[in-house]
Structure 1
């Protein structure tokens, strides 16, 4: 079987940047998502720019400032930064405005090109579960001819890429990423092509105050570099690939 190992949140903070850099050098990763609106996004890219991975746009409308100038009242608070994903996701109705989202996402594609000198290999959304947000990503991805990564059952059937089942957290909200993989708790080994998503990184004050993923990031960073995982991949005859390596079914 083929496996896409995707890690998200490059650019989220300096500690996350360095954690992802370590995993790319020493671990098992095939795709990385860059959050281009964050202050340390460019530094994050500079750390990993020589890595032979698929670099995508991890579209972010819930942390930091927008890249778009002007008013975005459904996306930003009075301070001019994005509403948090928790605040957006807990609203009784989807308040994200489609045109505002398209404007910001299109701006993030342009910012990605400014930082990297190329268009994203793929696009996906960070943290926010708004259907309008997903629709906006799809429309912008189509306009820029970028592969749109979604989590829906329809998308999985259309592409032939199966999303691994999410981990089951323990009483402390944590899990063992190595056990999750080698015991196939994500149900990937019987698939032709699967995608598993991680958020590896180190910790700094920004992560501790702006993310629900803290210790999990360090656990995933360690697991993705573990020789036991690399041996398991060899034993299972898993072929690591990225989105360009997988022939998407029409």
Structure 2
């Protein structure tokens, strides 16, 4: 059985520093796909740096941070025109405070803006902070993707997430990851009903930043493939690995126009770049019959 691994660099376009790191990872053979944010200071430069390189771009749909790409909204943003944040939007969605027509308008606007910048429709669309899988957003998201004939997204269901002991060093992060996992499981039938494809399995929630080590990454990838192979009788099994390589973005600029946060500024971005680009990982892929591919092969 073939093992196909899609390694995705998230938050491409966040800043020139992030773009530089993602392109280094691509040139090192460490990633083949990158998810593009459209409302950041590095969006346009990211598109230009990837043009004609072979890096597969997708849309990193963003409804949680920064400003909408075109429209002004009454419910999807605060009074100053800024998205409500990862938890703020989810709370508002859960309370029924967000107008669904505004969600539709922003998803539609981001797909159209992506096409204008890149010159083609996204090879795939996933969600910044996995917002595409919130129970309110997922049905809207899936129908719009079907309308645009975009057939691939991310389903971040990482097996045995609760058993990753290192995650419990950061209880707040651990709770967020469990929330993402819950939403993904809820949304799986919605994606299937709309013929939206995903990789057979997924990993990466438990190996972000300094939680990523060569040993953990290799163990997680093998664990995901082996579990999927037991369930699926097919010629090939695919796995998506979510990553965030880059260089630190200075706190006072970049990102969503007003600057970055600790995640964007962290040296963890370089750490991921180094682990992903290591000889150990390349040898690991060869030893375990793992072929690195893009979302176009899913």
Segments of structure 2 that go 5 or more residues without pairing to the other structure are: 156-183, 229-236
- Could you tell me whether the CA contact under 8 Å between 1:2 and 1:194 is conserved in 2? yes
CA distance in 2, matches of 1:55, 1:176: 24
CA distance in 2, matches of 1:10, 1:197: 12
Shift of 1:79: 1.9
1:232 partnered with 2:284:
yes
Which range moves more in the overlay, 205-214 or 6-15? 205-214
Query: Against the structure 1 CA distance between its residues 46 and 159, is the aligned structure 2 distance closer, same or farther, given a 3 Å change threshold?
Result: closer
CA distance in 2, matches of 1:95, 1:211: 29
Shift of 1:168: 6.2
Which range moves more in the overlay, 132-141 or 193-202? 132-141
**TM-score relative to the length of structure 2:** 0.72
**TM-score relative to the length of structure 1:** 0.85
Q: Deviations over 1:5-49 (max 9, x none)?
A: 111111112221111111111131122111122232111111122
Which range moves more in the overlay, 188-197 or 146-155? 146-155
- 2:261 equivalent in structure 1: 210
CA distance in 2, matches of 1:96, 1:26: 43
Query: Against the structure 1 CA distance between its residues 222 and 145, is the aligned structure 2 distance closer, same or farther, given a 3 Å change threshold?
Result: same
CA distance in 1, matches of 2:74, 2:213: 38
CA distance in 1, matches of 2:271, 2:204: 18
Structure 1 vs Structure 2 CA RMSD: 2.5
CA distance in 2, matches of 1:211, 1:109: 28
- 1:44 equivalent in structure 2: 46
Q: Deviations over 1:165-222 (max 9, x none)?
A: 63167xxx83134222223367223132111111111112246743646343222111
Higher helix share: 2
- Could you tell me whether the CA contact under 8 Å between 1:164 and 1:186 is conserved in 2? no
- 1:184 equivalent in structure 2: 220
Match of 2:200 among 161, 169, 185: 161
- Could you tell me whether the CA contact under 8 Å between 1:166 and 1:186 is conserved in 2? no
